[in-house]
Amino acid sequence: MIRLLGRSALSIVYELGEITLFSGGALFAFAGQKRRLGKLISALHELGARCVPIVAVVGLFTGLVLGLQLYYTLLKFGSQGVLGTAVSLTLIRELGPVLAALMIVGQAGSALASELGIQRNDEQIDALQTMGIDPKGFLVGPRLLAALLAFPILTALFDLIGIFGGYVSGCVLLNLDSGVYWSGVFESVQWSDVRGGFIKSLAFGFLTILICTFRGFHTHRKSSARGVRGVSQSATWAVVWSSVVVLAADYVITSFLI
Amino acid sequence: MAETFLKIQGLHRHFFENRVLDGIDLEIERGKVTTIIGKSGMGKSVLLKSIAGIVEPDAGRIELDGRPIGVSRRKATAEEGVRFSYMFQGNALFDSLTAYENVAMPLRESGGLKRSEIDTKVRDLLEQLDLTDAAKRYPGELSGGMQKRVAFARALVIDPDLVLFDEPTTGLDPERKFGVFELIAEYREHYGFTAVLVSHDIPEVFKISDAVALLDRGKIRFFGEPAALEMSASPDVIEFLQRANVGHAKGSKMMETEV
């Protein structure tokens, strides 16, 4: 039993070391690559632009539901006037960064892990190596940097659309005064709230895309199955663990920010 | 006398309990075509990948043009002016790039040439390989033979000194296989590169091979000219050629005597 625990602990430490070296190696190698801007823009399109519709839709419905639930809860205490405050702070501090990250992982992270897994199986990663191109710098580096740019922007989009959704629920559907709603939003949101959400989205972006690329890149070593099943295992593992890490990191960061 | 271009000494590589390469010694001459043959799973591709630096050997030494090459061998060899290419069994073309972009990739990423120079070089090569019409098409839109030619063009675009071919005719019909071998022979003659092939196409591949190495149970059991292989008295060679359904002078006589 003790041996098993020790082996598991060592394995986790080894994996963490490996993933740290992987991220460092990818960013360092990317710095030495040619045509960096083009690769970064392409990665931004993949992680950012393609995720805009899903982030917008989920943001809208989250805001709508939040507006509805909070309105009736606050009504019990006769304080429905603080709906704008409640919706905006809930979104900016918590739900925005977490849900936007989970949506991006579902949309782009799984695709990323699968794509790299297929490239590994088809020897495209080996081909890069034989061409003298560092595969980590070429395939992983731009995506890690793009995640640092795309996640905060998409989180901001999620927050804005969510706050608008709260307005639709509270003011358009339930007849709350729109001036009360918006003044609640503008007066309660502080720079520290925005900064906290920004820090979270940066951390979630780096961690989730790192997990997805690491797993996809090492499909041949980390999956128990080969070929197509190995790729599907990688994609599933990447999405599940990215989601777990988002929630765990959210707790850790929140405890430091509060 | 021909000069040794690639020298392998005491190369070892194991996977778990399996000693795939168990002390490989091989000297490959400059400008020649050397073919590595052997049964499936005997480590031919592992040997080729060890030369390319994709697989790291457990022990042994590899010298390219008289210089030992280490872990970051692709980069190191490029810096020393020795260029090499690898043509993969499954072509390893990038699905999201067109045939043109696939061929141009090694030049674009190395950054040594201007865009116009790269364009001229890639278009010339595509034209030579009869791929002009395929330039804007993606690998998925090309036939197996065309994909091979695109992969071949990508291997040639850097003007390599050494080209490693890992079963270059896999998945092709006999006519196309012959076409690929002709292509390799023709371009080796034209560009003068040294070629190392792994192939199962016996005896067809012998037509373009200057030397043949038989890899079996982790060691090179025969190294010499194809004609000498067919005359060899080595039991390993006889057994292999009989399994490959190739006529063997001594093997045939032995069979007749047994009957």
Q: Report which of residues B225 and B249 the model is more confident about.
A: B225
Q: Is it true that the peptide bond before A97 is cis, omega within 30 degrees of 0?
A: no
E-strand stretches of chain B? 4-15, 18-29, 33-37, 59-64, 67-68, 84-87, 162-166, 194-198, 211-216, 219-224
**DSSP string for residues in B211-253:** EEEEEETTEEEEEE-HHHHHH---HHHHHHHHHTT---HHHHH
Of B49, B90, B109, nearest to A131 by CB-CB distance is B109
pLDDT digits (tens, 9 = 90+) for B94-129: 999 999 999 999 999 887 889 999 999 999 999 999
Please indicate whether, in this complex, the C-beta atoms of A123 and B92 are within 8 angstroms of each other.
yes
DSSP B193: -
Q: What is the pLDDT of residue B175?
A: 82
Q: What is the pLDDT of residue B258?
A: 38
- Of B1-5, B37-41, B211-215, the least confident: B1-5
User: Chain A neighbours among B 79-98 (CB < 8 Å)?
Assistant: 84-86, 88-90, 92-94
Interface residue A123 vs chain B (CB under 8 A) = yes
**CB-CB contact of A231 with A121 (8 Å):** yes
Which residues of chain B have a CB within 8 Å of the CB of A126? 49, 52, 54, 86, 88, 92
User: Chain A neighbours among B 111-140 (CB < 8 Å)?
Assistant: 111
Q: What is the pLDDT of residue A84?
A: 95
Task: Please state the rounded mean pLDDT for residues B201-210.
Answer: 88
pLDDT-derived band at B70 (thresholds 50, 70, 90) equals low
pLDDT digits (tens, 9 = 90+) for A216-252: 999 988 767 778 888 999 999 999 999 999 999 999 9
Å between A132 CA and nearest CA of chain B = 6
Please indicate whether, in this complex, the C-beta atoms of B89 and A133 are within 8 angstroms of each other.
no
Q: What is the pLDDT of residue B255?
A: 40
SS3 category, B34: strand
pLDDT digits (tens, 9 = 90+) for A25-72: 999 999 988 889 999 999 999 999 999 999 999 999 999 999 999 999
Interface residue A133 vs chain B (CB under 8 A) = yes
pLDDT-derived band at B53 (thresholds 50, 70, 90) equals confident
Q: How far is CA A160 from CA A62, A151, A178, A217, in A?
A: 11, 14, 16, 35
Q: What is the ipTM of this complex?
A: 0.85
**pTM for the full predicted model:** 0.87
User: Chain A neighbours among B 192-251 (CB < 8 Å)?
Assistant: none
Task: Please state the rounded mean pLDDT for residues B188-209.
Answer: 90
d(Cα B158, Cα A46) in Å, to the nearest integer? 30
Which residues of chain B have a CB within 8 Å of the CB of A50? none
Of all residues in chain B, the one with the smallest CA distance to A121 is B92
User: Chain B neighbours among A 30-69 (CB < 8 Å)?
Assistant: 33-35
pLDDT digits (tens, 9 = 90+) for A76-127: 998 989 999 999 999 999 999 999 999 999 999 999 999 999 999 999 999 9
Locate all alpha helices (DSSP H) within A91-131, ordered by sequence.
96-104, 110-121, 124-130
Of all residues in chain A, the one with the smallest CA distance to B103 is A131
Please indicate whether, in this complex, the C-beta atoms of A132 and B109 are within 8 angstroms of each other.
yes
DSSP B209: -
pLDDT digits (tens, 9 = 90+) for B118-172: 999 999 999 999 899 999 999 999 998 899 999 999 999 998 999 999 998 888 8
d(Cα B78, Cα B246) in Å, to the nearest integer? 40
Pick from A23, A86, A98, A27: nearest CA to A59: A98
Please indicate whether, in this complex, the C-beta atoms of A132 and B85 are within 8 angstroms of each other.
no
Q: Tell me the count of A-B CB pairs closer than 8 A.
A: 52
Q: What is the pLDDT of residue B79?
A: 53
